[in-house]
Structure 1
Amino acid sequence: MTETEVLDEFRAAGALLEGHFILSSGLHSPVFLQKMFIFQDPARTERLCRALALKARGAFGKIDVVVSPALGGIVPGYETARWLGAKAIFVEREAGVFKLRRGFEIAPGARVLMVEDIITTGLSSRECLAAIAEHPGVIIGAACLIDRSGGKADIGVRRVSLATLDIPNYAPDALPPDLAATPAIKPGSRASVGAV
C-alpha cells in the first residue's frame, strides 16, 4: 500500500481533518487524524493493518507478540497481530504509568513489536516501550499507521509506518496568526470534545 493510498483511506473515512486542533500532547495543529473514523470500518481497518503487518514482517522478520498502548492502539495492534499470526496484548495506565495488566505476559525470548495508531511526539510510544522492557521478551521495533512527526519523534527503537507526514505542531504560546485566529477544538480521547 502506497502512502497516497493510505492517506486516501483516511480521506475517504473523513478521518483527515483540517482546522485548529488541540492534540492529546497539548500541542496545537492545523491537521487532526481521527483514527476512530478508520477503526469503525472493519474492512478499511483490515486493509491498513494487513499492509502494516507486511511492512513490519519485511523490516523485522518473525514477530511473536504485538503490544499496543490502550486505548487508541488496541484495534490496530490486534488487527496487525492477526495478520502476523502473533499474540495481541496491550498496556494500560495504572497510577498514570503504562503496565501490562489482566494477566498478560511476554515469554522469555519472545520477539515483540510495539504497534501504535499515530505517532506525534512519540511520548506514548516511549512509555509503552518502557513497559514492555520490564518483561523478558526482545523488543524488535515499532510500527504505526501514520508517523505525523515526519520521522523526527525519537522513540528509542527502529520503526516502520505506512505514511510519514511532517504535520506542524505548535506550543499554545507559539501559534501562527492564522491558526490563533481559528477557534480550537480538542477531538482526542484524553478530554471531552468541544470548543476550547
Structure 2
Amino acid sequence: MDKQIIDILKETEAFLEGHFLLSSGKHSKGYVQCAKVLRFPDKAAKVLEPVVDKIKGLGIEKVVGPAMGGVIVSYELGRQLGKEAVFTERKDGQMELRRGFEIIKGEKVIIAEDVVTTGKSTIETKEVLEALGAEVVGVACIADRRPEGVEVGMPVFSAVKLNIETFDASDCPACKAGEPVVKPGSRGNM
C-alpha cells in the first residue's frame, strides 16, 4: 500500500526531492507538498482511503483539521466517514476554533493533517479541542514523517510512513555543498 500512495504523491508532484527549509527550522532532502495531491479530488480520496479504513471503528463524531494543511484532509475524511468536518486556525499566532464551529463536551474527535513532522500544529490543535471538552482519539494524516523519538501524545493513523532525514542548518550537507534552500510550507519559521 505504501508504494501505491508514494506513486500517487510522485505522480502529482506532491513528493519533492531537493533542499528544503521546514517550518520547524530544520532542513531536509525531501518534502511532501500535499496541496499538490489534494488538488485532485479522486487522488485525495484514494490516498485517504487507507486512513479511513484504520479509523472508521473509533467512534469518531467529528473531524478537525488545523489550517492550512488539515482543511482539505479534514473535509475528505469527513466525507468518507459521513461526519462533520471543521478546522482550527491561527489568530494572533494562537490556534483557535472559530467561524462558529463548536465542540460538544465529550465529543470524540480526530485531528486531520496533511503531514505530521514535528507535531506542532497537531499538539496545539489537541490542546484547543481538549480545552473545549473534546475527547481526541488521534491524528489522521496522509504522511507521517516524524523522525524517530518524536511523539505527539496520541495515536497517528497515516496513509504512508516516510523516513526523510532532517538536519539542523549547521549540520546540513546540502547547505555545506552550497545548495540553495527552498521554503515550501505555509507556516513562518519558528
TMscore range, shorter length: over 0.9
Is the Cα contact below 8 Å between 2:23 and 2:185 reproduced in 1?
Answer: yes
Match of 2:39 in 1: 40
| 1:121-136 superposed matches below 5 A | 121-136=118-133
How far residue 48 of structure 1 moved from its aligned partner, in angstroms, is 1.6
How far residue 179 of structure 1 moved from its aligned partner, in angstroms, is 4.8
Is the Cα contact below 8 Å between 1:111 and 1:138 reproduced in 2?
Answer: yes
Is it true that 1:180 corresponds to 2:179 in the alignment?
no
Match of 2:3 in 1: 4
Is it true that 1:96 corresponds to 2:93 in the alignment?
yes
| 1:63-82 superposed matches below 5 A | 63-82=60-79
Deviations 1:102-140 (A, max 9, x none): 111111221100111101111111111111111122111
Alignment partner of 1:37: what SS? Answer: helix
How far residue 151 of structure 1 moved from its aligned partner, in angstroms, is 5.8
Give the TM-score, by structure 1 length: 0.90
Match of 1:155 in 2: 152
Match of 1:141 in 2: 138
Structure 1 stretches lacking a partner, 5+ long = 192-196
In 2, Cα distance between equivalents of 1:190 and 1:126: 15
Structure 2 stretches lacking a partner, 5+ long = none
Number of corresponding residues? 187
Match of 2:106 in 1: 109
- Identical aligned residues as a percent: 36
After superposition, the Cα gap between the structure-2 partners of 1:65 and 1:125, relative to the gap in structure 1 and judged at 3 Å, is same
Is the Cα contact below 8 Å between 1:113 and 1:141 reproduced in 2?
Answer: yes
Is it true that 1:53 corresponds to 2:58 in the alignment?
no
- Which amino acid is the alignment partner of residue 87 of structure 1? E
After superposition, the Cα gap between the structure-2 partners of 1:109 and 1:151, relative to the gap in structure 1 and judged at 3 Å, is farther
Is the Cα contact below 8 Å between 1:22 and 1:186 reproduced in 2?
Answer: yes
Stretches of 4+ aligned residues off by more than 3 angstroms: none
- Which amino acid is the alignment partner of residue 42 of structure 2? A
Deviations 1:131-185 (A, max 9, x none): 1111122111111111111564211111211111111111111212x45322111
